[in-house]
Amino acid sequence: MFHHIQYTGTREENYALVIKQLEALIAGEPNLIANLANAAALLHQFLDNINWVGFYLAEGEELVLGPFQGLPACVRIPFGKGVCGTAAQNKRTELVPDVHQFPGHIACDAASQSEIVVPMLKDGKVIGVLDIDSPSKNRFDEIDQQYLEKFVDVLVASL
C-alpha cells in the first residue's frame, strides 16, 4: 500500500527517494501501461507547482498519448513538432523555461508556462517521452533534468 509522504530532505535526496519508490512500484510488474500509470501518479504527488505529468508512446514517427495526470491532452504529436516531438526526434531532454519562446510549441493546456520532456530510449530507439508541464515559468532546472532522466532510465530498464 502506498501512502502520501512529506519529502523533507534536499531536492536531491527527495528525488533519490522517489526513484526508490518507483523501483518498488514497478518491481515484478511487466505491464507497460500499469507501470507508466503508477509512474505518472508518483511524479504527480511528488512534484510541486505542476499542472500535467504523463507519457507519450512512440508509434512510427509520432507520439501517442499514454498514462497521465492532469487535464485532457493532445492525443498525437508528430516527431519534430512541439517540445515533446522535438525531444523525441533529437533523442535528448528538452528543458524549456518559457514555452511561449519555444518555436512550434503545442499548447495542450493554456495554463502551461514551462515544460520538461525526457525521451525514453531503449536500445537507442525512442519508445516514448515523459512530459511535465508547470503553470510557472522557469519551474524546471538542471537538478530536475538530472533526476528525471534517472527516473526514466529506471522505468525503461524495467521494460
What class does CATH assign to 11-158?
Answer: alpha beta
Task: Strand 94-96: give its sheet, edge to edge.
Answer: 76-78, 62-70, 52-59, 125-134, 114-122, 94-96
* Collapsed DSSP state (helix, strand, coil) of residue 60: coil
Could you state, in order of their start, the residue ranges of all structural domains in the chain?
11-158
Mean pLDDT throughout 60-74? 96
Long-range contacts of 29-33 (CB under 8 A, 24+ apart): 29/158, 32/159, 33/66, 33/67
Return mean pLDDT, the chain.
Answer: 94
What pLDDT is stored for residue 19 in this prediction? 97
What pLDDT is stored for residue 2 in this prediction? 65
Lowest-confidence region among 5-14, 66-75, 85-94, 123-132: 5-14
Q: Residue 103: CB partners within 8 Å, gap ≥ 6?
A: none
Question: Whole-model pTM?
Answer: 0.95
